[in-house]
A and B are shown apart, each in its own frame.
Chain A
Amino acid sequence: MMAEIGLAALWLAAALAGLQLAAGSLGLTTRGAALGEAVRPVAVVQGLLALLAFACLIYVFSVTDLSVKLVALNSHSMKPLVYKIAGAWGNHEGSMLLWVTVMGMAGGFVALVERRLPERTMLATLAGQAFVSLGFYAFLLFASNPFERLSPVPVEGNGLNPLLQDLGLAFHPPTLYLGYVGLSIAFSFAIGALITREVGPAFARAMRPWVLGAWIFLTVGIAAGSYWAYYELGWGGWWFWDPVENASLMPWLAATALLHSCSVLASRNALRAWTVMLGVVAFSMSMIGTFLVRSGILTSVHAFAVDPQRGTFILALLAIYIGGALILFGLRASSVTEGERFALVSREGALVFNNVMLSAILGIVLFGTLYPLVAETFGAKVSVGPPYFNPMGALFAVPMLVVLAVGPLLRWRRDRFARVSKNLVIPAMLVAAAAIGLLVIGSVALLPFLGLAVALGLAWASLLPLKGRNLRRTPLPIWGMVTAHFGIAVALFGMSSESAFSIEKLVAVKIGEVTQVGPWGVKLDTVEPVAGPNWTALEARLLVRYGADGKVTRMLPQSRSFWAPPQQTSESALLTRWNGQLYAVLGGEAPAAGNKDEAKSDAGSDQGRWQLRLWWKPFVPLIWLGGLLIALGGALALAGHVLADLRRINLRSKIAYRRERQGR
């Protein structure tokens, strides 16, 4: 019953999206102006219906209604409740339903609260949002219906991939999707502004909080996903340049550029066409990412099942939306009037530079991600990994980070470098000191070397905009900028330190044997079987000690065997200290040492040995701490802008009230 209600809600929501598109478009004409009134309420109800459909899906998953095909394929009655619920979006259909739900809710939210723009632009924006939603509703209803029934009803479900049975699944995809799909608002705003030709500071000020909101979620989602992959896969890495990861990075790069060009447009009325273009590009990257991930066209450890029909469908949607938006941009770009001018050395100049660098990195990632597809059409099977992405990304990231240190100190419009250069003495000295220190240590590869040096300088430089300010009166957006830029330095330091100083140890040890990894002594105490709700495991008890006289701590890595579906995973154990993380993975049982003759002579060695993989990763948690700081910076800026807007509205209504009274 709930499945049918969900499906009906989905059809209704799709119909309302159609109505929203029609009413919004007709509302722009003089004859249909009355229809415009309907657009906002329709958008709100459409969002609520999508939410209802999603709630129905969660319900059928939480009660494990096996007559629903999706549940039977992806769930199991013996699974803990939290993974039953999270399993609702841990598959293709469910995640697409989450996508349209977020999209509908975002549109409804905009319709409910956004009052700063001219009503015509809002109509065009909401019509654009409905137009995009409509395609994804069609995709859900015709090519990936999540509520499809199954007959006969199976006795038990197939279960959820054990790698996904983790709290990360409950948190990471919804956060990421809020960011991913939240960018659709920027896309629709850009479309709306292009249609009504209202590109200016007011447009940028209205768009900025929405972009910021989506960007915050995207940042948190990427950081959470990276940490999840880090501890769940047991490979010790935190970023694999996997197509799915790139699919989330590309919208982030575009959204970061958009955010900064939005600021220029809002404060200085420059970069008009560029900002609109980025608005289109950011969400286009979200859609391309979805296409890459959902079509199964690229091999990925994260991807769900492959279905060529779906790939074609999403490709068609991509062509319509991205192509259509670009054509609209091409037609209208020349009529978007030129903004204010600025000198090369100015805040705007620095922001333009960083925008171009971010776009270049975006291009590098996009090329690398698509190259295997291109090569395959020529018959070569290739994969592209860190040897391409790391140096090519750094080539543009390093200049960008250097300008990031200087840019916030420059004045708008025109400035002289000599004015700010004395502030940069200390950061420059930090960079030099780090470089000398690293040369003394020696054997640090070029990229982590650059990363560590730049991170130190940037950490100091990012705080300089606060210098000489009354900290209590410093506006929140400035605090936000400083926090986010400082977060970049922190994350960069973590990444470089991980890559430069990680120590890896792979051993087979007997019970009671002690092994050394970096400053840690690790003793394998016991290996014992343990059982969970839907798995059994071998659990190693490691007694670890930092330095010669540190406190002894326990670590419990497991090798788990799930029975639905039957699959083994390794649960790594992490021990965090202020200066890094010890990472332990339990492998399999290795045969006894030596050959048979030795075994005879030594009675002790017929006892098995256990494979252990250990890493000591100095300062690695800074990667995710930095990511959270970046998101926090975004949140501070968002709070600042929203509070300022509320104050302005409040003031305006007070003035209006006074005028009214004086008028009497």
Chain B
Amino acid sequence: MAGSIRAPIKAKHQRLVLLVVALVVLIGAALLAAWALRNQASYFYVPSDIVAKPPEPDRAVRLGGMVEKGSLKTAADGVTVNFIVQDGKASVPVTFRGIVPSLFVEGSGVVAEGRLGANGTFVADNLLAKHDENYVPREMQDMTKDQAKQVVAETQ
């Protein structure tokens, strides 16, 4: 191969080779990305979806809904909270170890990032509460529009 490099390549050829190599790598990267995205993207569920079609265990997903009134309990260690997230049709128990966001209260909306455990309890790694008027997770905006009335009616 060394000979072919030393041999004077026509200018057009080198440009072509560079172009082809760059394109192959970039297309390869795009295909890999597409494959990885299918496997790694974290899907958004509302309780009725996650109960009807549970994701495979250990798959990172997000669960959004309303924190049911009277369901929020702190465990004995003082840092684990258990509560129920519901959307008016179904409800899912959630457990979270950590410091809850200040806007996280019963009856408010929440998006929990985590995994659905084998026993049907959702184990959250992170909680996103409604931040302020300027920041609402987009999924929750939709959900409150569709379901807020009935959810509020049932939680109160």
Contact = CB atoms under 8 A, between A and B. Distances in A.
A590 B73 CA distance: 11
A590 B78 contact: yes
Contacts of A371: 37, 41
Interface string A484-522: 000000000000000000000011100000000000000
A508 B132 CA distance: 27
B30 interface: yes
A364 B78 contact: no
B78 A375 contact: no
Given A305-B134, A382-B42, A360 B97 contact: no
A568 B102 contact: yes
Interface string B16-31: 0010011001101110
A613 interface: yes
Nearest to A613: B99
Given A344-B5, A590-B79, A364 B134 contact: no
Interface in B1-17: 5-6, 8-9, 11-12, 14-15
A161 B135 CA distance: 11
Interface residues of A, number: 57
B51 interface: no
A391 interface: yes
A387 B40 contact: yes
Nearest to A304: B134
Contacts of A613: 98-99
A116 interface: no
B44 A382 contact: yes
A392 B32 contact: yes
Contacts, number: 127
B15 A338 contact: yes
A506 B96 CA distance: 12
Contact of A565 (B14, B42, B98, B132): B132
A15 interface: no
Interface in A351-396: 352, 356-357, 359-360, 363-364, 367-368, 371-372, 375, 380-385, 387-388, 391-392, 395-396
Contact of B74 (A338, A359, A506, A591): A591
A395 B34 CA distance: 14
A613 B96 CA distance: 14
Contacts of B41: 371-372, 375, 382-384, 388
A364 B30 CA distance: 7
7 contacts: A299-B139, A352-B18, A356-B26, A360-B25, A388-B41, A568-B102, A591-B78
Given A356-B25, A356-B26, A609-B78, 5 more contacts: A341-B14, A360-B26, A363-B30, A364-B32, A383-B44
